[in-house]
Amino acid sequence: MSDPFPAIAEAEARGATADLFADIRATVGVRVVNLVWRHLATIDDALPWAWAAVKPLYQQGMVDQAVIGFRQTMALPVLTSLEGDEPASVDAVLASYDHSNTVNLFSLGALVAWLRGEGATHGSPQPGLRLAAPDVALPALASERDVAPEIWQRVLRLNRFGDSERPLILASMYRHLAHAPAFLARLEPALAAVQADGTLDRAIATNRDAARRSSRVLARAIAAARPPRAADIERSVSAFVDHAIGKMVTICRAVRVARKQAQP
């Protein structure tokens, strides 16, 4: 079965795509290019158009200000304590994705709203100071062949939390954390408990709705010509906003709180 969301690996990017990946890393302030951008690179002309459309939202601190307001009222399920003596890479991965997923949720949510013509009719995006991005190195992005079968199966089980029975997109955060199997073994029952009592799904839905409202305001700041493959771009980006990024913003933040690592 073909991958419905193929992506270009950072190490394999060449020419203009490699240049765009470098600009995304520098602008967002992280060392890895999130899957959504790497997927857009597989669609003709989608990545340069999408990045040009939303880059000013990052540069002017608009997404950062949206994130600050969002985090003040985020709904979070209460996980059992996840404090422990894990490798430093665990908290590095969590910090990186807590930052990049959340800012990307707002910029890409704004892009989806703009493409759908659903921008807010009132309200103005607020520029401001940018959030400090975590300067951390991440372990390799693991694939199935890199880890033991039981670890990969746990990664796949974790990916189902907060999503449909057949999630289309494998969250990259879990692939980075596959190198810390003891932590994943503790994380799985913690997420299973809040999935079972419904608090995880309710928090994700609440946060998605809040982010969607804010993103519609941010869409007012996008100034771009409509691209030739607008429908393909909207379909792909909305899948990430509604699924992988939409759920992982809540999950990652809840995990960091359970590890007492979350920052404003």
| φ, ψ of residue 83 in degrees (nearest 5) | -65, 140
Question: Using an 8 Å Cβ cutoff, are 205 and 162 in contact?
Answer: no
SS3 sequence, 74-131?
A: CCCCCCCCCCCCCCHHHHHHHHHHHHHHHHHHHHHHHHHHHHHCCCCCCCCCCCCCCC
Nearest Cα residue to 98 out of 258, 243, 252: 252
Helix axes 181-196, 149-160, angle to 10 degrees: 30
Evaluate whether residue 68 is within a structural domain. Answer: yes
Find how far residue 182's CA is from the centre of its chain: 24
Q: What is the dihedral of CA 177, 233, 239, 145, to 10 degrees?
A: -30
Range of the domain at 196: 10-258
Evaluate whether residue 2 is within a structural domain. Answer: no
| pLDDT value, residue 257 | 97
Q: What is the pLDDT along the chain (264 residues), one digit of tens a residue?
A: 346 789 999 999 999 999 999 999 999 998 899 999 999 999 999 999 999 999 999 999 999 999 999 999 999 999 999 999 999 999 999 999 999 999 999 999 999 999 999 999 999 999 999 999 999 999 999 999 999 999 999 999 999 999 976 667 999 999 999 999 999 999 999 999 999 999 999 999 999 999 999 999 999 999 999 999 999 999 999 999 999 999 999 999 999 999 998 877
Evaluate whether residue 226 is within a structural domain. Answer: yes
Evaluate whether residue 5 is within a structural domain. Answer: no
Question: Using an 8 Å Cβ cutoff, are 139 and 176 in contact?
Answer: yes
Token pair 């103005």 in the structure block, residue:
124
Continuous segment of H or E residues that includes residue 55: helix 46-59
Evaluate whether residue 263 is within a structural domain. Answer: no
User: Per the confidence metrics, is the pTM higher than 0.85?
Assistant: yes
Question: Using an 8 Å Cβ cutoff, are 247 and 150 in contact?
Answer: no
The structural domain count of the chain equals 1
How far apart CA 27 and CA 21 sit, in angstroms, is 10
| pLDDT value, residue 1 | 36
